[in-house]
Amino acid sequence: MQQLLVHGLDSARIQAIQALFSQELFVRPVAKETLASALGDDVALALVGEGGGDAASMAHRASLFDAIFNQAPIGITISHGLSPGDTVIDEILDVNPTFERIVGYRKEDLTNIGWSTITHPDDLERERPFFRQLIAGEIDSYRIEKRYIRPDGSIVWTQIVVAPIDVGLRDHYNHICLIQDISERKMIEDSLKESERSRGVLLTHLPGMVYRCKNDEEWTMIYVSPGCVGLTGYSQEALIGNREVSFNEIIEPSYTQELHRSWEAAIREGRSFSGEYEIITRDGERKWVWELGQGIVGEDGRVEELEGLILSINARKRVEAQLRYHSQHDLATGLFNRHHLEELLSSALAHRPRPAMALVAVNLSGLHASAMTYGLLYSQQVLKEVAGQLQTLCRPSYTLCVIHEYQFVFHIHGYAGKGELNRLSESIAAQLTIPLAMEGISWGTGIVEISPGKEHEVQDLLRKLLVVSEQAAQRWGGGHLFFDEQMERQIHQEEVITGVLSDLASGVESGNLYLLFQPIIAVDGGRIIGFEALARLDIPSLGTISPLQFIPIAEKTKLIIPLGESIIIAALRFLDTLSKHGYDGMRISINISALQLLKQGFSSNLLRTVRAMGVNATAICLEITESTFASNYQEINKILRPLRKAGMQIAIDDFGTGYSSLARERELEVDCLKIDKFFVDKLSQVGRDISITSDIISMAHKLGHIVVAEGVEEESQLSYLQEHGCDLVQGYLFSRPLAEVQALAFLSTYKP
Ligand code: C2E
Ligand code: CA
Ligand code: CA
């Protein structure tokens, strides 16, 4: 605040000046010397009272007065006027430059028109009574806010202070008026009013209420906005002062304790509170609300009141609940889904101490084949029925989920030893065996125990569960299996093998895939007619892997397609090597997986490769397992036809082990039949099966097929086969599968 330094004025005058300038200036009496030297930045003006009477000091005082008048940051007018009856005759005697600037009139004009003319008529109405009282000596001064109308018609808001002043005109009433431009403040006030108004609009349309309450146990409301009716069903009056109900009573009881705790923490830490909870409306309906509030710090620094906003979030919560249901459930069966099981497991695994838990999976892997035949609707129907049967076995500690297209899982939280799991598996079998056998669906139950002491990972457990339940399902008939350490090792190996195979398919040599060649010998004369190419995989950490192990993995991962192509090329290259060494007319037998064969363009690609490598197609025999034909032999015949036309031979591998049907063999367009080692083994044991082997040979011959016996290890087997007219043989009796160099050596040294 600026200061007005004065000297030599009596206290009555100092008070009078202070009253005039009460908001703008602080009037401070000082010593004469101070006055002279203290005219600094914060001192507006200095005024000296009637001290000395000499001319010099009179002149000095006059110049000081001029200085006040001309430089004051507030407008000053000195007027005189009369008040005969109702009409006030007023005249302006003097105005300072600030006043001229505020009202926009020059002094010359103002002295003619007077102040009441340029006052806004509405404000003049208000001012007149004050002015009359002042003239009558009833009041010492008055202060009002009023508008002046500027020459251009615009309005300026001012605050004025009017007080009597003696200027020596005894017949007139004289007064001084100090004015301040407050247009800016008025504008702010207006916009505040506007924002008040819009706040009002907002409050009425809010899907909730604004409140101010005591920071007490009841949350006693001091103010609630009209929205409280819509939100709670209670009127404003009912809530304020807990007249009918306290806010605390509206809150769903299970939330109150936690809410009080959170509020206390928010107040203690000086931050705002926000939370979601449920209230019970007047009609007894539960409603989700969201609250945002803060404590109001009183003068003593304590929080005695709270204020904030409570909004209904019922609609959002409803959608959220739906989304949560969808994300946690399988829509076809209504059971929990994989996502839910994963969440359940990870929270159960994190818990300490933890009871013994188990996962019991019912795997309907056979349903897949039926779905392909009968369609999706059928498989969904079966799934629903199975879900219904399994649900009857649930107990409070069991949670049933469906986590895979055809896999149901019981999560068992706490159980009394293996016995309980065995009994559950038996009950599952009792429920499902007959209905699933009637549908011809293979299935099984796999069990993974989660011991309390060890660390487990959710995905790891689910992978184990898949492995063990698939193995159980392969046994057909609904038996159950526990996951054990051997399966664990197998899983690990499979992971390593999968990695190496996919590396190889993309050209990275983390392992070595190569071929061995087993000689095929003519029974009649003992000549070597060719070789069968047998794949091997060397992995540094695991050694040499049998194709019995890695081919199924390559098939499962579909990597057999690229890897099969490189096997074909390696086998054809061996043929080339043979002919370069002078062994022409040799035949190479290559094993082909069903997946390779059924891949679009298999035949044309193979023919192109054969042509490109300059190989004679008649030197190639493709071995296809009998089970491949089981799916759709007509389609297989169609694929094989152009290959046979080009001169290749087709052999049915493992004949007698799969879906053997001698009747169907007639329909298969093949050249050759390989009797499985199983039947050759039988030949060394004396028994009835011997006749079967001879029957197979004679029947195949009737159909015009060449017969190959594999796995011949003993002379006795060979002589039987010789006797019954078998054409070709293969087995350790002659040679194990050989590397290329050894195969060439075998050729050069072998004597029939
Ligand atoms: P397969 O086609 O029936 O091959 C014959 C299997 O019997 C070979 O096992 C061979 O080493 C073995 N064997 C031959 N003579 C005897 C014998 O006198 N005694 C005994 N105990 N075994 C004998 P291998 O090489 O382990 O191959 C196993 C199976 O893996 C093959 O059975 C074939 O189905 C598959 N396979 C091998 N190589 C390939 C390939 O390149 N591609 C595809 N798709 N499958 C292959
Ligand atoms: Ca074979
Ligand atoms: Ca075979």
Is 229 found in the same domain as 105? no
Which of ligand 1's atoms lies nearest the C-alpha of 535?
A: 38
Closest ligand (CA of 623): 2
Is 518 found in the same domain as 394? no
Banded pLDDT at 545 (limits 50, 70, 90)? very high
Task: Please write the tens of the pLDDT for every residue from 515-542.
Answer: 999 999 999 989 999 999 999 999 999 9
Q: How far is CA 666 from CA 592, 637, 652, 693, in A?
A: 21, 12, 12, 18
State the DSSP H helix or E strand holding residue 744, giving kind and residue range, or none if neither: helix 740-749
Which of ligand 1's atoms lies nearest the C-alpha of 674?
A: 3
Residue 249 CA, ligand 2 centroid: distance in Å: 81
Mean of pLDDT values over 363-392: 86
Q: Give every CB contact of residue 427 below 8 A, 6+ residues apart in sequence.
A: 393
Task: Please write the tens of the pLDDT for every residue from 319-363.
Answer: 888 888 888 888 888 999 999 999 999 999 998 888 999 999 999
Number of domains in the chain: 4
Is 520 found in the same domain as 627? yes
Cα 381 to Cα 364: distance, rounded to the nearest angstrom: 13
Q: How far is CA 382 from CA 336, 441, 484, 713, 720, in A?
A: 17, 10, 30, 48, 51
User: For residue 324, which of 337, 313, 308, 311 has the smallest C-alpha distance?
Assistant: 337
Q: Where are the alpha helices (DSSP H) in 269-416?
A: 314-328, 338-350, 367-374, 376-391
pLDDT of residue 109: 85
pLDDT at residue 85 is higher than 60: no
Residue 652 CA, ligand 2 centroid: distance in Å: 9
pLDDT at residue 86 is higher than 90: no
pLDDT at residue 481 is higher than 80: yes
Domain that holds residue 273: 206-318
| Phi, psi torsion values for 317, nearest 5 degrees | -65, -35
Mean of pLDDT values over 624-633: 78
Among protein residues, the one with the nearest Cα to ligand 1's atom 25 is 534
* The last residue of a domain, from among 125, 157, 188: 188
Residue 701 CA, ligand 2 centroid: distance in Å: 20
Is the CB of 737 within 6 Å of ligand 1? yes
Q: Where are the alpha helices (DSSP H) in 450-484?
A: 458-474
Among protein residues, the one with the nearest Cα to ligand 1's atom 42 is 591
Which of ligand 1's atoms lies nearest the C-alpha of 590?
A: 41
Among protein residues, the one with the nearest Cα to ligand 1's atom 13 is 711
Is the CB of 104 within 6 Å of ligand 1? no
Instruction: Flag whether 532 is in a domain.
Output: yes
Q: Angle, nearest 10°, between helix axes 547-556 and 560-580?
A: 130
Which of ligand 1's atoms lies nearest the C-alpha of 567?
A: 41
pLDDT of residue 187: 86
What SS3 class is residue 78? Answer: strand
Question: Do 296 and 307 form a contact (C-beta atoms < 8 A)?
Answer: yes
Question: Do 177 and 171 form a contact (C-beta atoms < 8 A)?
Answer: no
Farthest-apart Cα atoms in the chain, separation: 162
Q: Which residues of 502-536 are buried (b: 16+ CB within 10 A; e: fewer)?
A: bebbeeeeebebebbbbbbbebeeeebebbbbbbb
Residue 686 CA, ligand 1 centroid: distance in Å: 26
CATH of the domain at 606: 3.20.20.450
Percent of all residues in the chain with a pLDDT value above 90, rounded to a whole number: 55
pLDDT of residue 51: 43
pLDDT of residue 249: 95
Closest ligand (CA of 622): 2
Residue 18 CA, ligand 2 centroid: distance in Å: 118
pLDDT of residue 727: 97
Cα 624 to Cα 651: distance, rounded to the nearest angstrom: 6
Is the CB of 537 within 6 Å of ligand 1? no
Instruction: Flag whether 115 is in a domain.
Output: yes
pLDDT of residue 205: 76
Report cis status (omega within 30 of 0) of the bond before 353.
yes
Residue 623 CA, ligand 2 centroid: distance in Å: 6
Residue 373 CA, ligand 2 centroid: distance in Å: 30
Is the CB of 567 within 6 Å of ligand 1? yes
Residue 534 CA, ligand 1 centroid: distance in Å: 6
Instruction: Flag whether 500 is in a domain.
Output: no
Among protein residues, the one with the nearest Cα to ligand 1's atom 45 is 591
Is the CB of 65 within 6 Å of ligand 1? no
Least confident of 93-107, 247-261, 598-612: 93-107
Question: Do 248 and 264 form a contact (C-beta atoms < 8 A)?
Answer: no
pLDDT of residue 49: 47
Is the CB of 119 within 6 Å of ligand 1? no
Mean of pLDDT values over 84-112: 78
Residue 652 CA, ligand 3 centroid: distance in Å: 9
Is the CB of 177 within 6 Å of ligand 1? no
* The last residue of a domain, from among 127, 153, 188: 188
Cα 112 to Cα 117: distance, rounded to the nearest angstrom: 10
Closest ligand (CA of 547): 1
pLDDT at residue 617 is higher than 60: yes
**E strands within 540-648?**
543-545, 587-592, 620-625
Which residues share a beta bridge with 181?
A: 158
Residue 35 CA, ligand 2 centroid: distance in Å: 121
Which of ligand 1's atoms lies nearest the C-alpha of 547?
A: 30
Residue with tokens 């007149």: 128
Residue with tokens 């192509």: 565
Is the CB of 676 within 6 Å of ligand 1? no
Is the CB of 544 within 6 Å of ligand 1? no
Which of ligand 1's atoms lies nearest the C-alpha of 534?
A: 38
Is 614 found in the same domain as 476? no
Is the CB of 546 within 6 Å of ligand 1? yes
Is the CB of 650 within 6 Å of ligand 1? no
Residue 558 CA, ligand 1 centroid: distance in Å: 20
CATH of the domain at 419: 3.30.70.270
Token pair in block for residue 11: 């206290």
Ligand 1 pocket: which of 591, 680, 742 to mutate (most atoms within 8 A of CB)? 591
Q: Which residue has the higher pLDDT, 274 or 46?
A: 274
Is 216 found in the same domain as 297? yes
Is the CB of 232 within 6 Å of ligand 1? no
Is 354 found in the same domain as 309? no
Is 130 found in the same domain as 35? yes
Which of ligand 1's atoms lies nearest the C-alpha of 564?
A: 42
What's the mean pLDDT when you consider all of the chain? 87
pTM of the model: 0.53
User: For residue 233, which of 287, 189, 186 has the smallest C-alpha distance?
Assistant: 287
Instruction: Flag whether 504 is in a domain.
Output: no
Instruction: Flag whether 45 is in a domain.
Output: yes
Task: Please write the tens of the pLDDT for every residue from 573-596.
Answer: 999 999 999 999 999 999 999 999
Is the CB of 195 within 6 Å of ligand 1? no
pLDDT of residue 93: 76
Task: Please write the tens of the pLDDT for every residue from 169-189.
Answer: 656 678 888 898 888 888 888
* The last residue of a domain, from among 261, 284, 318: 318
Instruction: Flag whether 164 is in a domain.
Output: yes
Is 340 found in the same domain as 290? no
pLDDT of residue 173: 73
Q: Which residue has the higher pLDDT, 684 or 432?
A: 432
CATH of the domain at 261: 3.30.450.20
SS3 of 391-423: the string is HCCCCCCEEEEEEECCEEEEEEECCCHHHHHHH
pLDDT of residue 89: 60
Tell me which DSSP letter residue 617 carries. Answer: G
Which residues share a beta bridge with 173?
A: 81
pLDDT of residue 92: 78
Is the CB of 732 within 6 Å of ligand 1? yes
- Write the DSSP assignment of 181-215 as a string of letters: E-HHHHHHHHHHHHHHHHHHHHHHH-SEEEEEEES
Query: Looking at this protein, which amino acid is placed at residue 745?
Result: A
Is 440 found in the same domain as 534? no
pLDDT of residue 41: 44
What SS3 class is residue 491? Answer: helix
Is 460 found in the same domain as 531? no
Q: Which residue has the higher pLDDT, 289 or 685?
A: 289
Residue 654 CA, ligand 1 centroid: distance in Å: 10
Query: Looking at this protein, which amino acid is placed at residue 149?
Result: I
Is 153 found in the same domain as 31? yes
Instruction: Flag whether 727 is in a domain.
Output: yes
Task: Please write the tens of the pLDDT for every residue from 185-203.
Answer: 888 888 888 888 877 777 7
Query: Looking at this protein, which amino acid is placed at residue 504?
Result: L
Q: Which residue has the higher pLDDT, 658 or 101?
A: 101
Is 581 found in the same domain as 475? no
Residue 613 CA, ligand 1 centroid: distance in Å: 26
Instruction: Flag whether 228 is in a domain.
Output: yes
Token pair in block for residue 627: 């089970």
